[in-house]
Structure 1
Amino acid sequence: MIPAEQGPGAAAEPSAAAEPLQYDEGYGPKIGVGPHPEPWPEDDRYDPELLAGGDRRNVVDHYRYWTREAIVADLDTRRHDFHVAVENWGHDFNIGSVVRTANAFLAKEVHIVGQRRWNRRGAMVTDRYQHVRHHPGTEELTAWAASEGLPIIGIDNLPGAVPLETTALPRRCVLLFGQEGPGLTEEARRHASMVCSIAQFGSTRSINAGAAAAIAMHAWIGRHAVIEPPTAP
């Protein structure tokens, strides 16, 4: 495993407490939690700066006041067996959304194929908790996937694609997405073990790349993830 990408173009890493507040339109900031009441928990997973100043990050309550490193380490113990890869030939703004969704569904890794720099705005800081790997091109991604024994499943509405809704996605796989507009490149199609399409019923020819990625990841979740029963309120 590797941490969130630190190569050229990677964003600087401010302290955890410096993460920007998240807003609900019309309702003001989601302020998280304030300083932790004393005595503070004696556990090295906790960040003294956050305990003293409060935790305003976009994390679930279970991880309040934890250090970023502790959160990543805990996530690593239970990541799912699917990877997400997305082609990045034109600095696609949807990639941030794909990374955010991959974090929500606990993908093993996200793979950026093509340009190293990608638009982090839509990730909403979740790339700090998600492993991100870069490949210069599709051939490099394919070589890596082959070394791991992972089939590449393309997601695009192309002639000959099989319906995602009726296809059994393998537990261990790489879900590969093209960028907004052109979709999967011809090279990506050649390297994919199969291509799955997403059923559409309206007038539009395609859906947003970030939305397509979320649908495909959730299809994997619906088949393979362990869903815990709801807890009492």
Structure 2
Amino acid sequence: MKIDNLEQGFFGIGIQNGKTPENLGVLWRSAQNMGASFIFTIGNRYAKQASDTHKAVGAMPYFHYDTFEDFYLHLPKGAMLVGVEHDEKAEPLETFVHPRRCVYLLGAEDHGLSNEAIKKSHFLVKFKSRLSLNVSVAGSIVMYDRSSKSEFST
């Protein structure tokens, strides 16, 4: 069976100014399991983590950007930026139709996404949670939601 990447689409996931490096390792492990095409950081760099037991950072492309502006200039052609943020303008994840080609951006647990990232996101999504979640858990929920839905938008 031949896989058509244009039909299937792709996604990458990363964190802007991640607070704790351990969360990166857990997110990368989930990203590898959920079929991410690449992973990235903006601001704080990834450092080897014991929590990345599958060594995902060596198994898929990893990119680092010093600033959001640098990251935004390097978005893959045709990819939609999906910010994950608890914001009044954000769409509920439960009804969100994931773009076929997209990049998910999460913010640090204590500050969330930067104002610039929120403004430049093509979509903002949020999901119900009684309390604040760890960034790696939030990212894993978004990736699971993507994999569980069979239809994609543009």
What letter matches 1:223 in structure 2? K
Q: Mapping of 1:1-233 within 5 angstroms? A: 81-88=10-17, 90-118=19-47, 120-124=49-53, 125-145=55-75, 147-200=76-129, 202=130, 204=131, 206-224=132-150
Deviations 1:139-195 (A, max 9, x none): 1111111x5121100011112211011010111100111122222122211221121
SS at match of 1:221: helix
Q: Secondary structure at the match of 1:111?
A: strand
SS at match of 1:152: strand
Higher RCO (CA < 8 A, seq sep 6+): 2
Give CA deviations for 1:3-44 in whole Å, capped at 9, x if unaligned: xxxxxxxxxxxxxxxxxxxxxxxxxxxxxxxxxxxxxxxxxx
C-alpha change, 1:156 and 1:92, in structure 2 (3 Å) is farther
SS at match of 2:71: helix
The aligned amino acid for 1:222 is S
- In structure 2, what is the equivalent of residue 51 of structure 1? none
Aligned residues with identical type, % of pairs: 24
Q: Please identify which structure carries the higher strand content.
A: 2
* Equivalent-residue separation in structure 2 for 1:98 and 1:80 (angstroms): 20
Q: 1:116 to 1:138 in 2, by over 3 A?
A: same
Deviations 1:52-80 (A, max 9, x none): xxxxxxxxxxxxxxxxxxxxxxxxxxx96
> Does the CA contact (< 8 Å) of 1:95 and 1:119 recur in 2?
no
Pairs aligned (count): 143
Three-state SS of the structure 1 residue aligned to 2:74 is helix
RMSD of aligned alpha carbons:
2.0
Q: After TM superposition, give the deviation of residue 224 of structure 1 in Å.
A: 4.0
Counterpart contact for 1:80–1:106, Cα < 8 Å: no
* Letter in structure 1 aligned against 2:58: R
Opposite residue 194 of structure 1, the aligned amino acid is F
Counterpart amino acid of 2:33? Answer: A
Q: Tell me: CA distance 1:179–1:193, structure 2 relative to 1, closer, same or farther (3 Å).
A: same
Give unmatched runs, 5+ long, in structure 1: 1-78, 226-233
What residue ranges of structure 2 are gaps of 5+ in the alignment? 1-7
Question: Are 2:24 and 2:46, in contact at CA under 8 Å, matched by a contact in 1?
Answer: no
